[in-house]
Chain A
Amino acid sequence: MPNYNIDADPKHTYDAIVIGSGISGGWAAKELCEKGLKTLVLERGPVVEHVVDYKTANLDPWDMELRGGLTPEEQQKHYKAIRSGFIGKDAEHFFANDEENPYTEVKPFLWIRGHQMGGRSLLWGKQTYRWSEMDFEANAKDGHGVDWPIRYKDLEPWYTYVEKFAGISGEALGLPQLPDSHFLPPMELNCVEKHVKARIEKDFPGRHMIIGRVAHLTEPLNGRGQCQYRNRCSRGCPYGAYFSSNAVTLPAANATGNLTFRPYSIVQSIMYDESSGKASGVRIIDAETNEDIEYKAKIIFCNASTLSTTQILLNSTSNRFPEGMGNDSGELGHNLMDHTYRVGAIGKVEGFDDKYYSGRRPNGIYIPRYWNIDENSKSDKFLRGFGFQGGGYRMGNSEAANRQEFGGDYKDSIMKPGPWEFFITGFAECLPYHENKVYLNKDVTDKWGQPTLSIDCEYKENELAQNKQIQEDAVEMLEKAGLKDVLGFDNEHEPGYGIHEMGTARMGRDPKTSVLNSTNQIHGVKNVFVTDGACMTSNSCVNPSLTYMALTARAANHAVEELKKMNI
């Protein structure tokens, strides 16, 4: 891949500016560049060039000075994100610096950020599911939040479009609550997972257990290699086997010759032109030199990530928009959602001690939602529903350490894999509540003197009722499947742990109650598009990234049509 052109010209008016280069920003860049628009992508962090900048991709534990451990200084640098439990030396450099980028937890909220080319597309879990008709209808049907201005049929062709290019592996099921994607061959379940699947599907009609649908290639696609089952994804994949902006969309954008990619560009605000009623460009701070620079463009795509996009809009004030760009409704910053996290059950599986597996599969199992999908599955305890992720594996060091043994025979025995363990953990849909919100905090500034976000968000009755059901169902399913020592758990994690933060600049039909229209344009500023998680009107119970991709491709197509018609 040739190097990126990083020389942005403040005198030039670009056709398009894209703020952020993660999952949605990468798609915006690709679509706009391929449609002929001279596009400037502004990224707050450094360039991470595919393969070249995956410095840790091939390191074994013993190749690292402290075998993957983080020093107290490194832990302090990530003092918030470290709560997630999965930051190690191998990928620490792809997590944002929490000390330089503070935020305030009015109520506990974990905000994980990736400040580099590709953003969190380097770090994501790759679980990839279409939303269903019932997701887009949910708000209208039960009256929470506002109605989505689109339906499944509006997004269906765009799902297919992005799936064909991204590469999604999975198994078709034909379920209305989890529409099938355009699939590459599915990954394989292991023998314990197959066993549990058979038991659950026999004992609980209507429930299904499948291999996760994931953005990993199971066969080569467009010059990218297939998954090698190393499970070192978060270091960057040298094969380009999983979908990231770095491996997939940004190289495609770059190949058009229309892309300028400016790293170390912290977008401070979007400039509003009172005479034209449109945005004229953006103001940035160079993260290295602290220089203030303005860039001009005809259209602007906001893809900084859910909360960062809203932060920029809140900071983009003008006479017309004193409370933040597009905030006529007063809903900007409101209706923040995430999926509940770490509620489920875990247990041991007997009878498979002579079985093992080879390869480190970067994927697990998925149990699609089964509550509130029809009359027969209606709950009287909660609205909406949840799905489960999980998996089976043979246990390692902590089980070996737990055995009350030591010495030669003990050592020889722990050379073999430990007992089989299997778990499922639920992800429940969160209702959109106006009072779950973010707002600018001018008292706490970041390294560059900019106001930061205060986050005031909590789960409420409907989410907690679902968590209760998740745990009950999980324990029941695992016990009926014959697992031993089944432990139900609810870690009572605050929002943010799901890392599926959505909302705060929602789409809607009415400018009085929403920020964006049906094609992701700010109601009052039609040349500004928001297509990252901020745009979401509800949050389903399935992982959102595929929907961001589809919404972005759809909005980019609309943007170019509107530009051609001189409507924006």
Chain B
Amino acid sequence: MDRRKALKFTGSMATAAVVGPSLLSLLQSCKNETRIDWTPQFLTLGEAAFVAKVADMILPRTETPGALDVKVDMFIDKVYANLYNEEGQNHVRNEIAKFNTDCQSDFGADFVKLSDADQVKALQKAEETSGQFGSGVWGTTVGNPEPVGFYRSFKSTVLWAYFSSEEIGENVLNYDPIPGGYNGCLSLDDVGNKWSL
């Protein structure tokens, strides 16, 4: 079998413990930073604002495009709508709600309504508490790593959505659909950014 064809999006399917739902106020999307000028298939407007804000903070625009420039939020909505079963979809909903509940107790408001500084603190806390992916070999995880938390899984989905976009894949990373040969020892300086495929 062609075991080397490991799936690049495996990490995005990781799941964590499910907690009880809580409701988001649609008012969240009124905040200036949010950018909901599209109609989600799965996410509520409030959830879409959350997805957009976190994705933008993980991968903001620098000299290269940011997550929102390549519509990472829209693609993640599409992923949740089309690649997740009902259980997975409920899990996402619950986890976004839980993230906001934590923000309320830590900082007094839902994530998108926090100050820039508190949003940074909230993500830093999530980075520290949401575990790590284990190593994988040919598409399956090896060893017995603890399941990652929602934030790590979400971040992985953001990276997948970003790096598998046409703009980043063809114009920012090194794009070479038909390498023609293999060179096993190049200077990284001669290549620059990583290969996109």
A residues adjacent to B (C-beta < 8 A): 58, 60-62, 66-72, 84-88, 90-91, 112, 120, 123-126, 187-191, 193-194, 228-231, 233-234, 342, 344, 346, 353-364, 394, 396-402, 404-408, 410-412, 414-417, 421, 423, 425, 487, 489, 491, 499
Q: Which residues of B contact A86 (CB under 8 A)?
A: 1-3, 5-7, 138-139
The majority secondary structure among interface residues of chain A is: loop
A84 to B3, CA, bound (A): 9
Interface size class on chain B is: 35 or more
Contact indicator B1/A487 (Cβ below 8 Å): no
Contact partner of B179 (CB less than 8 A), chosen from A61, A66, A228, A233, is A228
Considering the chains assembled together, what is the distance between the CA atoms of A346 and B84 in angstroms?
31
Indicate if the CB atoms of B82 and A71 lie closer than 8 Å: yes
A442–chain B nearest beta-carbon distance, Å: 30
A137 to B109, CA, bound (A): 73
Contacts A187-B182, A406-B58 given; 13 further ones with Cβ under 8 A?
A61-B169, A61-B197, A84-B1, A126-B2, A230-B178, A230-B179, A233-B2, A342-B140, A356-B188, A363-B4, A397-B163, A404-B124, A487-B135
The residue of chain B having its C-beta at the shortest distance from the C-beta of A397 within the complex is B159
Interface assignment of B29: CB less than 8 Å from any CB of chain A: no
Q: Any chain A CB within 8 A of the CB of B165?
A: yes
Q: Which residues of A contact B62 (CB under 8 A)?
A: 408, 411-412
Indicate if the CB atoms of B8 and A72 lie closer than 8 Å: no
Q: Which of B1-28 contact A (CB under 8 A)?
A: 1-11
The complex places the Cα of A59 from the Cα of B155 at a distance, in Å, of 25
Contact among B1, B5, B57, B173 for A120, CB-based, below 8 A? B1
Instruction: With both chains docked as a complex, state the minimum distance between the C-beta of A456 and any C-beta of chain B, in angstroms.
Output: 23
Q: How far is it, in angstroms, between the C-alpha of A90 and the C-alpha of B197 when the chains are bound?
A: 14
Q: State whether A397 and B184 are in contact (beta carbons under 8 Å apart), knowing that A346-B142, A407-B60 are contacts in the complex.
A: no
Q: Please measure, in the bound complex, the distance between the C-alpha atom of A67 and the C-alpha atom of B184, giving whole angstroms.
A: 28
Q: Is B152 an interface residue when CB atoms closer than 8 A count as contact?
A: yes
With a CB–CB cut-off of 8 A, which chain B residues contact A398?
A: 10-11, 133, 136, 156
Residue of B with least CB distance to A90: B5
With known contacts A234-B5, A346-B137, A425-B137, A354–B79 Cβ distance under 8 A: no
Residues of chain A lying within 8 A (CB to CB) of residue B170: 60, 62
What is the bound-complex CA distance between A119 and B64, given in angstroms?
Answer: 44
Contact A355 to B186, CB < 8 A, known contacts A86-B5, A407-B58: yes
* B136 (CB) vs chain A CBs: closest residue: A398
Asked if B132 lies at the interface with its beta carbon under 8 angstroms from chain A, I say yes
**A410 contact set on B, CB distance < 8 A:** 58-59
- What's the Cα separation between A88 and B85 when bound, in Å? 17
Residue of B nearest to A414 (CB): B159
B2: chain A residues at CB < 8 Å are: 86, 91, 123-126, 233-234, 362
List residues of chain A with CB within 8 A of the CB of B8.
Answer: 61, 68, 396-397
Residues in B with CB closer than 8 Å to A407 are 57-58, 60
Which residues of A have CB within 8 Å of B83? 66, 69-72
Contacts of A88 in B (CB 8 A): 5, 7
Give complex CA distance A397, B64 in Å. Answer: 18
Residues on A with C-beta less than 8 A from B146 are none
Q: A190-B185, A356-B187 known; A85 and B178 CB under 8 Å?
A: no
Q: Are B133 and A68 in contact, with the CB atoms below 8 A?
A: no
Q: Is B172 an interface residue (CB 8 A)?
A: yes
- Verify B169–A358 contact, CB threshold 8 A: no
- Closest B-chain residue to A190, C-beta based? B184
CA A168 to CA B111, docked complex, whole Å: 57
Q: Which residue of B lies closest to A399 (CB)?
A: B133
Q: How far is the CA of A526 from the CA of B1 in the complex (A)?
A: 32
Say yes or no: B188 contacts A358, CB within 8 Å: no
Output the residue of B4, B194, B197 with the most chain A CB within 10 A.
B4
Q: In the complex, what residue of chain B is closest to A401 when comparing beta carbons? A: B156
Question: Min CB distance, A386 to chain B, in Å?
Answer: 16
* Residues of the B chain whose Cβ atoms lie less than 8 Å from the Cβ of A363: 4
Chain A residues whose CB sits within 8 angstroms of the CB of B173 once the complex forms: 415
Q: Which of B4, B132, B156, B164 contacts A62 (CB 8 A)?
A: B164
Please name all residues of chain A whose beta carbon is closer than 8 Å to the beta carbon of B186 when the two chains form the complex: 355-358
Contact B140 A85 (CB under 8 A): yes
Instruction: Tell me whether B107 is interfacial, beta carbon within 8 Å.
Output: no
9 residue pairs, one from A and one from B, having the closest CB atoms = A85-B139, A190-B184, A359-B182, A191-B185, A359-B179, A489-B142, A62-B166, A85-B140, A401-B156
Give the distance in Å from the alpha carbon of A265 to the alpha carbon of B136 in the complex.
39
- Whether A359 pairs with B181 at a CB distance below 8 angstroms is yes
B160 contacts A by Cβ under 8 Å: yes
Contact, CB under 8 Å: B182 / A415: no
Q: How far is the CA of A68 from the CA of B173 in the complex (A)?
A: 19
